[in-house]
Chains A and B, each alone.
Chain A
């Protein structure tokens, strides 16, 4: 019969009231919410929900960038470091490699034709191979390098797959730190930076006005080096483009005298004489010592300030710089000097990052989408509510109340779960408005049938609810399966749609089945109708 235990009644109402209460903050603007939290006493803010639904970037406007560690670039850097290590190892053993150490696509190779020398060098080279350690797996048993001693006197040092992967993982974690510092120093609000997959970083910045600048800042490695300008292109030199000579290549010594890792601070400023924007920097103790020594040894020679393999400027060293402070000039604009100081403060990226995906939505478009979504929701509600009332009368009214509660519960659950509302999510809500009444329709149609079959009113109501319940479970379960898969396979906004859809299915059971049943039970006991008005 249509009886409810009072505990069930209270329980259902409590769930609904709490759920709806959670939705309330979302109807106020962020300013109003902030004002409320600031003015209300703390016991009240602890009791009253103040958290609103998080709007996705497609609704509030903003930028999303997916960065990927450039594996080839990272491998190149690794190979260069390996070459330095190999050279040091050879130097320590006093071994000469014929023709030097060459970089190969996946490591380095060298040739030591003297067997005795090779026997001396090999253990040292083998010691360069380290066991791979992984933050998650611990020691994996694999090694970072494969050392092959070939019969013709060539020695190949190749990076293993496991070693490279571990290095990529480390690089991603390091890069996340650097990216976070850069975005924070750029002064934007509430950025979200997370790892995605093995070698990717997802950066989301809401409300960003100038996504291009963010891209430029994130894409730069910001590897700063102080090296000496070489006299000729022969010997241990790199040919690097120079800003002073409009991109023409100039020879720069390979030896790095100091680098950005030793910086403690960098600030934009102006040159006192020329009034040109510059960047002032400060070294830590180690950097100051190295820089001091290098500048005192090379007074009178030009020193190249190399940023990301470009010579920014090459001032002549007039006197030893021992205070650990200096300045970089390079025909900067104020903005460039500002950006460079941010990059230097945040540190260098371990490898180049490529932008593999970017999505930016202007704030105006986001506002338009919200307005359109509101309008569509209201229109859908009016249409469905009218139809339900026209077809089922007072029972339709019950279904409509359940429908409103249903939408409110979705919003409430979304706020408490901190799920993100996206544009497809709004579409999901509108769609849910259409499908949510399905459960009620199933029940009502069943009740009609049972009445036609000659059952008494209470027994027809009872049978309608009971019989329809199995169908409701089956139909909602199949929808839920599709929605859950959508959640796991989808990305970004589509996920938002899946969340709404899953929550919609969950709340249907509470509203369409339990809540309507209660309303009908109360109504029946109050009026005792002789004929069912449906």
Chain B
């Protein structure tokens, strides 16, 4: 039986040379993300913005988005979004945060029940008050920052300083671009999105760590190899794994996008794009970054600069 190979066994592709394209490209995309982020901003869901979300499903027959929109706007609760989604005629209504503290939100619910109870079933109702949403923003931001710091510390202990820095640069790159995906796609940014970003942090590091593990191993074995060649070798020899894992993860995420249902579609789409970004950055950003900082080409790498016993050794 012939086995499928997604990547040739022996590859000698000069990945490092592509940094002349990948760095400007990533810089452009990152700056673009930043600009768009400042101009357009994220499409915050009610988790972070506060407000009320209602999902309706027609009790019988067809739903009438136009009339629901008309009624909901008529409540006078400010800018109200009414959308049809999914394929069973489900309608989502988003009311902005109401003034007058928590009782304002309760009023929205009462009005909505009065108006729609007859024809629609309330599939989902979410109300988040102003204080809660503020706290969720805070804990979400702290979570992302904390995870980056914690991982940095871990890598600092486990790897050489340059490698740790390279991994962090790659991770930050991935976070920025993922946020960019949210900005451009207008996919709602909510608590689940924070989960997506933290998962991408994990995945991004996983990719980088696998390559760097090999870099470290080769650094010890070939003490005089030029950095570019060293990194090219690390990437080439782990490339078949990278492709396999990226494919299997992407396949399962495709399953999630196609069959997972509306509620986590945004999450799955972002994760899917995130996996592509992470794979790209591990090869074209984190690794070439090492050339720019300290690991100069041609010179002996400072792999022996530390007590080798302090570094974890793969058992021979």
Contact = CB atoms under 8 A, between A and B. Distances in A.
Contact of B249 (A434, A452, A471, A490): A434
A477 interface: yes
A438 B195 contact: no
A392 B214 CA distance: 22
Contacts of B102: 68, 354-356
Nearest to A496: B195
Interface stretch (B13-21, B138-146, B290-298, B301-309): B138-146
Given A390-B3, A445-B244, A376 B128 contact: no
B106 interface: yes
A347 to B, nearest CB: 23
A486 B253 CA distance: 20
Interface in A468-506: 469-471, 473-479, 481-483, 485-486, 488-494, 497-498, 501
B314 A434 contact: no
B209 A489 contact: no
Interface string B4-39: 111001100000000000000000000000000000
A470 B6 CA distance: 24
A427 B3 contact: no
A434 B198 contact: no
Contacts of A483: 198-199, 202
A532 B109 CA distance: 66
Given A354-B101, A368-B261, A474-B213, A491 B5 contact: no
Chain A interface size band reads 35 or more
Interface stretch (B61-69, B116-124, B221-229): B116-124
A194 to B, nearest CB: 16
B206 A434 contact: no
B129 A357 contact: yes
B139 A362 contact: no
A293 B95 CA distance: 53
Per DSSP, chain A at the interface is helix
B81 interface: no
Interface stretch (A4-12, A156-164, A333-341, A380-388): A380-388
A430 B255 contact: yes
A486 B148 CA distance: 12
Contacts of B71: none
Nearest to B153: A481
B312 interface: yes
A513 interface: no
Contact of A364 (B123, B205, B260): B123
A433 interface: yes
A426 interface: yes
Contacts of B147: 481-482, 485-486
A388 to B, nearest CB: 7
B83 interface: no
Interface in B217-264: 217, 237-238, 240-241, 244-245, 247-256, 258-261, 263-264
A375 B260 CA distance: 7
Nearest to A489: B143
A477 B198 contact: no
A491 B190 CA distance: 12
Given A356-B132, A437-B248, A376 B260 contact: yes
Contacts of B237: 449
B79 to A, nearest CB: 21
B161 interface: no
Contact of B253 (A356, A365, A430): A430
A346 B1 CA distance: 73
A491 B136 contact: yes
A430 B251 contact: no
Contact of A376 (B105, B122, B131, B255): B255
A490 B194 contact: yes
Given A356-B132, A424-B195, A431-B253, A474 B113 contact: no
A474 B214 CA distance: 12
A282 B252 CA distance: 63
B203 A435 contact: yes
B55 A485 contact: no
A442 interface: yes
A380 B314 contact: no
Given A384-B251, A494-B191, A355 B106 contact: yes
A423 B256 CA distance: 11
A376 B143 contact: no
B154 interface: yes
B191 A384 contact: no
A48 interface: no
Interface of A: 58, 66, 68, 211-212, 215, 219, 354-362, 364-365, 368-369, 372-373, 375-377, 379-380, 383-384, 387-388, 390-393, 423-424, 426-427, 430-431, 433-435, 437-438, 441-442, 445, 448-449, 452, 463, 466-467, 469-471, 473-479, 481-483, 485-486, 488-494, 497-498, 501, 533-534
28 contacts: A212-B109, A359-B127, A364-B121, A375-B259, A379-B255, A379-B258, A380-B256, A387-B247, A388-B248, A390-B3, A423-B264, A424-B264, A424-B267, A435-B203, A435-B249, A438-B206, A438-B248, A474-B213, A474-B312, A475-B210, A478-B202, A481-B147, A481-B202, A482-B198, A482-B199, A485-B143, A486-B199, A497-B199
**Top 5 A-B pairs, shortest CB-CB distance:** A489-B143, A372-B261, A434-B252, A434-B249, A482-B202
Given A362-B123, A441-B241, A478-B155, 12 more contacts: A356-B129, A372-B260, A380-B255, A384-B252, A426-B264, A430-B256, A431-B271, A471-B214, A473-B312, A486-B147, A486-B199, A493-B192
